[in-house]
Structure 1
Amino acid sequence: MPEMLKVKPTRMELLKLKRRVKLAERGHKLLKEKQDALIMEFFTVYDEALALRRELNQKMAAAFEVLRKAQLEVGTLRLREIALGVKKNEEIEVKTRNVMGVRVPLIEVPKLRRKPSERGYPLVASTASVDAAAEKFEEVLELAIKLAEVEEALKRLGKEIEKTKRRVNALEYIIIPRMKNTIKFIEQHLDEMERENFFRLKRVKALIEARSE
C-alpha cells in the first residue's frame, strides 16, 4: 500500500491536505524554475572558468619562457637576489556577491601590475628581461586570482543546484505523492461512511414504515 500521512480521516483534514498539496505544487514549480536557472548560470560560469584556465596556462608558459631567458642572461644566483628584493603585494580582500540567491566570492585585487621602479629591487641590478619576467608573472597572478574567484563560484553554485535538486525530488516523489495518497484514502473512507450511513438510514426508514403499518 502506498505511504500515507498519519492524520484523522475527516473532512477537515481533507480540506487541509488539499490546500497543502496546492502549496507544495506551487513550491515545486518555483524550485524547479530556480534549479533550471541555476544550471544555466552554472554552465555560463563553467565556460568562463575553462576560458580562464586556458588563458592562465598560456600566460604561465609564456612567463616561464621569459624567466628562462632572464636566468640565462643574469644567472640563477643574481635572479634569486633580485626576487628577494621584490616588495610584497597588498593583501587581497574577499567579499561576496549574490548570484541566483547564492553568495559567491568577490575578490578585490590590489594593483598587481607595477612599474619596475615600484617593485622594490634595485634597477641597476635588473635587466629588461628580468623586468619582462616580473611583468609576465604579475599578469599570471592577476589571472590566477580571477580564476580562483570563478572556480569558487562554480563550486558554490554546484552545491546549491544539488541542494535544490534534493528538495525538488523530495516534493515530487515523496511529499506530494504521500499527501495525494492520503487524500485518496480519506475520500474513500468518507465515501464508505456515507454509503454505510445511507444504508443505515434506509433500514431505519424501513423499520419505521413497517411499525407504522
Structure 2
Amino acid sequence: MNTENRYPVTASLFMLKEIKHRQEHVNRGYQLLKRKAEALRIRGRQAASELASTQAILGHTLREAYISLAAIKFTNGESNALVLENIGQAQVRVLRIPENISGVSTVSLQALEETVGIGDTFRYAGLGAGGHRTGEAKKAFREAVRILIKFASLRNTCILLDESIRTTLRKVNGIEKVIMPKLRNTENYIMMEMDEREREDFHRLKMVKAKKMRSQARANKLRQDNKAGGAGESTEVVTPTAVMAANTRSVECFTCILRCNSSLSSTTDSGDFNKPICYPHNWDDDDLLF
C-alpha cells in the first residue's frame, strides 16, 4: 500500500483503536460541517432574495425622492445652502444588533428615528409656497435612508455568509477527499499487517508443534528399541537350556579333537600319509592355525 495515502503508524491494536477513535470524531465533525453548510446555504438564499427585493424597492424609493426634490427646487428654488447651514443632531440613527447564524457572527443594522428632544429646523419651511411638496420630500428621503440601511445590512450578511459557506465547503471537501480516505487506508493497512502477523505466528506454531511431535516419536521409538534389545540379551544369559547346550557342544568338540589326534598318530607310525586328517565337524577353515 502506498504510504502517501495513509498515516505513518505502526501496526498494533493500540493504533487500530486510536484510528477508529479518530474516524468517529472525523465522521461527527463531517456531519456537523455538512449541516452547518446546509443551514448557511438556506440562510444565504433567504438573505439573497431579501437583498434583491430590497434593491428593487430602494431604486423605486430613491427615484420618487429625487423627483420630489426636483419639484421643491422648481417651486422654492435652490435650498441646499439653507439646509447645510441648519444641520443639527441626526434624527435617524443606526442600531447594530449582533446575530449568530450557525456559528457565523453577523451584524444586523436597524434604523431608529429619534424625534424626542430634537427640534426640526425645517418644520415651517415652505409655508409661503410648496410646503406640501417639502413634507413629501422629507418623508421620501427618510424612507430611502431606512431602506438603504436595510440594504446595507443584508449585503453585509450575504458577504459574510458567502465567505463562511466557502470555508465550510472547503473543510467538508478536505475531510471527505483527504482525511477520511487516509484514515480508511491506515485502518486497512493495520488490519492487513495484523492478519499477516497472525498467519506467521500460526505457521510458526505449527512448525514448532510438528518438530516436537517428530522428536517425541523418535524418542519413543528409541525407547522401544532399547527395551526390546535389553529383553533379548537377558533371555540369552539367564536361560539354563542355552547353558546346557553350550556345555554339550564343548564336550563333543573336545572328544572329536582327541579322536583325531589318536588317528593321526597311528597313520604317521605306519607310514601311510594318504588318509585324510580328521578335524572337528564344527571347525571352519578360518579356525585353522596351520
TM-score (norm: length of structure 1): 0.89
Contact 1:38 1:100 in 2 (8 A): yes
* Alignment correspondent of 1:121: 122
SS of the equivalent of 2:8 reads: coil
**Structure 1 residue 123 displacement after superposition:** 1.8
Q: CA deviation at 1:37?
A: 1.5
Cα 1:129/1:137, change in 2 over 3 Å: same
1:54 aligned partner: 56
Alpha-carbon distance in structure 2 between the residues aligned to 1:39 and 1:92: 27
For residue 199 of structure 2, what is the aligned residue in structure 1? 195
Note if 1:72 corresponds to 2:74. Answer: yes
The answer to whether the 8 Å contact 2:126/2:132 transfers is no
For the 8 Å contact 2:19–2:183, the answer to whether it is kept is yes
Aligned to 2:108: 106
**Which of 131, 137, 143 is the aligned partner of 1:139?**
143
* CA RMSD, 1 decimal: 2.0
Q: Is the 8 A contact 2:110 2:149 kept in 1?
A: no
Amino acid at match of 1:123: Y
* AA in 1 matched with 2:67: E
Runs of 4+ in 1 over 4 A off after TM superposition: none
Name 1:20's counterpart in structure 2: 22
1:110-153 C-alpha deviation (Å, 9 max, x unpaired): 207x7xx9431362556322232122111111110111111111
- C-alpha distance in 2 between matches for 1:97 and 1:130: 38
- Higher Rg of the two aligned structures: 2
Q: CA separation in 2, counterparts of 1:68 and 1:26?
A: 62
Structure 1 match to 2:174: 170
Q: Which stretch has the larger CA shift, 150-159 or 124-133?
A: 124-133
Q: CA deviation at 1:190?
A: 0.6
CA distance in 1, matches of 2:97, 2:113: 17
Contact 1:63 1:133 in 2 (8 A): yes
- Give SS of 2:113's match: coil
Deviations 1:151-193 (A, max 9, x none): 1111111122112112211211111111110000010111111
How far the C-alpha of 1:21 sits from its partner, in A, is 1.0
Number of residue pairs matched by the alignment: 208
What percent identity do the matched residue pairs reach?
25
- Aligned-partner Cα distance in 1 for 2:125–2:55: 36
Residues 102, 47 of structure 1: CA spacing in aligned structure 2 closer, same or farther, 3 A cutoff?
A: same
**Structure 2 counterpart of 1:129, which letter?**
R
When residues 172 and 11 of structure 1 are mapped into structure 2, their CA distance, relative to the original with a 3 A threshold, is: same
Residues 143-162 of structure 1: matches in 2 within 5 Å?
143-162=147-166
Measure the CA separation in 2 of the matches of 1:131 and 1:124. Answer: 9
3-state secondary structure, aligned to 2:97: strand
User: For structure 1, which segment, 181-190 or 192-201, has the greater mean C-alpha deviation from structure 2 after superposition?
Assistant: 192-201
Q: Which blocks of at least 5 consecutive residues in structure 1 are unaligned?
A: none
CA gap 1:194/1:111 in 2 versus in 1, 3 angstroms: same
Distance of 2:22 and 2:112 partners within structure 1: 52
Unpaired segments of 5 or more residues in structure 2? 218-290
Q: Which residue of 1 aligns with 2:268?
A: none
Pairing 1:89–2:93 present? no
